Structure formats: C-alpha cells, structure tokens
Structure 1
Amino acid sequence: MGGRLMANHGWNRFEVDGIAVEDAPMPGWWRRLFVMLLILCPFYFLYFHAGAPGRTEVERYERISFELTKQRFAEIGELQPDAATLIEYSAKPNWLKVGKMVFKTHCVSCHGRNGEGGVGPNLTDDAYKHVRSIEDIARVIAEGANNNAMPAWKDKLMPNEIVLVAAYVASLRGTNAAGGKAAEGSVPPPWSAPEPQAPSP
C-alpha cells in the first residue's frame, strides 16, 4: 500500500492504492478577497463602532425620531406641567399617542405594558403612592421618588415629553388593566384644574 503525489496543471493529484483523488487549489481571487476583508475589518469596526456617534442604524433612527419629535413640538411650543395643560392633553388622542410612545419606550419595564404595574405601582387603578394631584405625576416623572426607586427623568426627556407622558399616565386612571398589581397608596380627588379667577372689577 502506498501513495504518490503528482502535479497536473496546477492541481494536486493523489493516488492511493490505485484510487486517484484530485485536490484543486483555492482560487486566487478567494485568497485576495480574504486578505482584503482582513484589511477592511479594522476600518469597519473603527468607523461604525468606535468612531463618531450617529453612524449605526439605531443611532440614525434615534436622531431622525428626535428631529421629527422636535418638529411636532414646534407646533405646540413648550408645555407647562400644570393641571390645566395635563388635563387638556390627556384628552387629545394625537398627543396621547406621543405620550404613550414615551411610556412604551421608558416605563414598561417597571410599570407594565399597559400600566398594570410590576416592579413599580399599578397606574390604572385609583390609588397613588406619591401623587395627590395631577401635577404631581409630572413632578414625580421629572424629579423621581422613593429614594430613586422611581428615577428622575428630567435630564433624559425633553420637557414636552415629560408633560405628554404625564398626561398619558393621568389618562390611565380608572382603566383597571387586566392582571393589575394590587392598589398601593391612597386615592386622590378626581383630576381637576383650578377654577379660573374672575377678573378684578
């Protein structure tokens, strides 16, 4: 038994016990492509993962979303987190969608997809732990509560986002989402805005 190696037009031909096997060498363009990829990979990594921000798909999406949100906010100016504004926007479906989007992005991990509660309290019953009036919803979102168990969002969200997500949370009151966490805290009065003062005579 034995074998021998023969050259045949650039191919390696093996013959063992009368059985011939031809081993074609790797095409040259494969080797060149491999070398090119080895050269390009570090540049790809540096450009998309270690370079300036805004180059990944996620970052581009976030930038576009941010710009579109700013354009929409230009329609309404800067909202104030007062009772009248929160009650007004809690009844505007188009703007509630914006508040809901903020909620779905940042709040579901603690308060549940529909506000039913989880780590954080249920937002769909009538009881609240740190809220006595509708304005307190915006305050708690902005400033946080309970030794940062509820984190402060004032440095992460735009002021209008805080107002609109607060309006959305206010709109959840009494919806009693399925599977809701047991009520915590006390029941504040129904949401209301201060009565407008009569003009001085």
Structure 2
Amino acid sequence: MSEAPKTDHAYDGIEEYDNPLPGWWKWLFIASIVFCPFYWVYYHNGAKGRSIQDQYGVALAENTRLQFAEIGDLKLDGPTIARFMAKDSWVKVGESVFRANCVSCHGREGEGKVGPNLTDEAFKNITVLADIGKVINNGAGNGAMPKWSNRLHINEIVLVSAYVAKLRGQNVEGGRPEEGNKIAPWPEPVVEEESDEEGDAKS
C-alpha cells in the first residue's frame, strides 16, 4: 500500500491522495494574474497603434505597399480593371479591401444592405466597367456612396473595382432586390505578357 498522504475527506469510500500543485506553478499562475491588468492597459487602452489589430494593420499596409511596388501606380480605367479581373491573386487583394471597407453597406458577399446589391445584373450609377472605379473614387448618390479617393490608394481602388466587377451575376441568396438598369456585359480582359503589363502599369 502507498504511504502517500491523503486528504481528510472521502466520498462513498473513495479516498483522494493529497497531491498539491508545485510551488512554481502556483507562482506562475499568480504572476499571470498580476501581469494581465498591465497587458490590458498597454495593448488595449493605451496609445494608438499598440493593439494587435493596429499592428496587424500596419503590417498589412506595408505588405500591400511591397506588392504595389511590383505593378506601379495603375490607371483607373476600364481596360486596367478588366485586366486585373483575370488575375486571381490581385482580385484577392481587392476582396480584402472590400471586406475591410465596404461590408457595412454592401454586405459581406456584396448582397447589399444599406447600399445596393452588387451581385445581380442591375446597376444604378454604372453603364460601363470604368464607372465602377469612378463611383468608388468620387462617390455617388449625393454622398450616399462616399468617395474613397482620400482614403484608398489608387491601386486599391482599381483592385476593389475588379473584385466588385467579378461579383456581377453571382446573385447571392438573400440579396436586395435589383435597383437601376441592366447594362451590357463587361468586356473580355486582354491577356498580356507579364513584362508588357508591368511596363504599362508603371507608365
């Protein structure tokens, strides 16, 4: 029989060994409790830029700047938007811009909330592909759609325009009813050689 000490209580004849936690574990637990308020004050109630979200935003912005260095400053026109619609990696950048700035009005999938549904075939302020960029850049509806030229890089506007254009025709379930007029299909993007594309983007 083991001679290990036991607690002074038993349940239905079942006894329990007295195995206290190690002292180092107890002190580590106490130290973590003492540390928590300081952590909260520094990262969540301190100076702007300290929070994990702020640091992530800075890192994301830096990564985006590095990516944009590959393509230079893009032109905000129909052919450029159409060209980047065919590039899935850049459309994903446009999607991240959309998710960060547009979901409160247009919904997470573009189905429409306060703003119109972007997944159907009807448009209120769009007649040609280039108009998507113009609306995002300059705003529309007497301020109902704010202008983003003072908040987004020109490349972000081009890429989010490409993402929005690709939402057309998906007809997400539960979306707002169609608003506006039906328009002609988007033009087919012209696939270019990588070197030519980079030269055009930087010119």
TM-score (norm 1): 0.70
Q: CA deviation at 1:176?
A: 1.1
Structure 2 counterpart of 1:175, which letter? Q
Alpha-carbon spacing, 1:67–1:194, altered in 2? closer, same or farther (3 Å): closer
Work out the number of aligned pairs and report it. 159
Q: Please state if 1:100 is matched with 2:95.
A: yes
2:118–2:164 contact (8 Å) kept in structure 1: yes
1:143 maps to 138
Aligned residues: percent identity? 48
2:56 maps to 61
2:123–2:181 contact (8 Å) kept in structure 1: yes
Higher relative contact order (CA 8 A, sep 6+): 2
Structure 2 counterpart of 1:94, which letter? S
Q: How does 1:28-107 map to 2 (within 5 A)?
A: 45=41, 49=45, 51=47, 53-107=48-102
Gaps of 5+ in 1: 1-32, 196-201
Alpha-carbon spacing, 1:88–1:102, altered in 2? closer, same or farther (3 Å): same
Structure 2 counterpart of 1:86, which letter? I
1:84–1:193 contact (8 Å) kept in structure 2: no
Q: Which has the larger radius of gyration?
A: 1
Secondary structure of the equivalent of 2:182? coil
Q: CA deviation at 1:192?
A: 2.4
2:118 maps to 123
Query: 1:194, 1:101 → 2: CA distance?
Result: 22
Query: 2:188, 2:172 → 1: CA distance?
Result: 26
Runs of 4+ residues over 6 Å off in structure 1: none
Q: CA deviation at 1:61?
A: 1.0
Q: CA-to-partner distance for each residue in 1:16-65, whole Å, 9 max, x for gaps?
A: xxxxxxxxxxxxxxxxx9xxx8xxx89x85897454x4222222111111
Gaps of 5+ in 2: 1-29, 191-203
RMSD (Å), alpha carbons? 2.7
Query: 1:193, 1:77 → 2: CA distance?
Result: 23
Query: Among residues 142, 165, 172, which one is paired with 2:160 in the alignment?
Result: 165
TM-score (norm 2): 0.70
